[in-house]
Amino acid sequence: MKKLNTLLAVTDALKAKYKRMVEDFTKFFTNSQGAFLGERNTYIPKEGTIDEPSKRKYTKVITTVDEKIDWFLQESKDFVDALFSQEKTNASGLAKAHLVVNGEDWGEFTSLELLRLKTLLEGNDMGNLESLLANIPVKSDAAIWDPSTLEEHNGRRIFQSPLVSGVSKTTVKEEYILEDPNLRHGVTNYTPQKAFRTIPQDLGDYTLQTFSGQWSQRERAGALKRRSDLIVAVTGALKDCNDCVAVESELTAEKIYGFIFKG
């Protein structure tokens, strides 16, 4: 009895060959119609006439459609039979293994469950999970963050920066007259000299504080690592699943292509 891992190896090894074979046959049938055609022309001159060799011709039929199809069936048999036996074995539930993630046994799962989980973690057809995790917003490591103490944030995972307080200030310009010592000596026709000085003024008290509902860099890195750990665990479990006896499928290459090509 074949093992499932043998079937997997066969399908992996022959998949590319099968694809090339289909492409080559399509190309041959399209561009090499002459290979299926033959011709025989004979000519016997009558007595007293000139022989004309150009009227004699023989072109051999290189191949037939049936010959090409028989060869196709023979060469595709291993791949197609292994492919459907692999699917039947997976669907039978015989291919099972325990999924152990970082030392924790999550339970026993079939190969189909594990394959679906692997696709969910790695594939793009249902969305790229890795890209989602890599783009989770994170807080700046340059700031200090503590859980928010505001009542409006109760029950929510929101962080706050330290409260910064201070006084908002401004300045005003004040005009004044410069003191002139010459005035003490009775100078007449004096024009006073003016100047301006800057006076600080308090406008009000202020506080500044920032709030964030983002993850930390460590949390995002941890989520990405756990995804990778789960993929490793699933890959290992699938390997264990495949170490089971394969179930032969009745969907064989002979039945499929025999019906299509020969009816």
Query: Per residue in 218-241, pLDDT tens?
Result: 999 999 999 999 999 999 999 999
Domain boundaries, the chain: 1-95+245-263, 146-212
C-alpha 135/C-alpha 198 separation (Å) is 51
In degrees, to the nearest 5, what angle opens at C-alpha 29 toward C-alphas 24 and 31? 90
d(CA 36, CA 27): 14
- Per-residue pLDDT of 139-184, as tens digits, reads 988 889 999 999 999 999 999 999 998 888 888 898 888 776 666 6
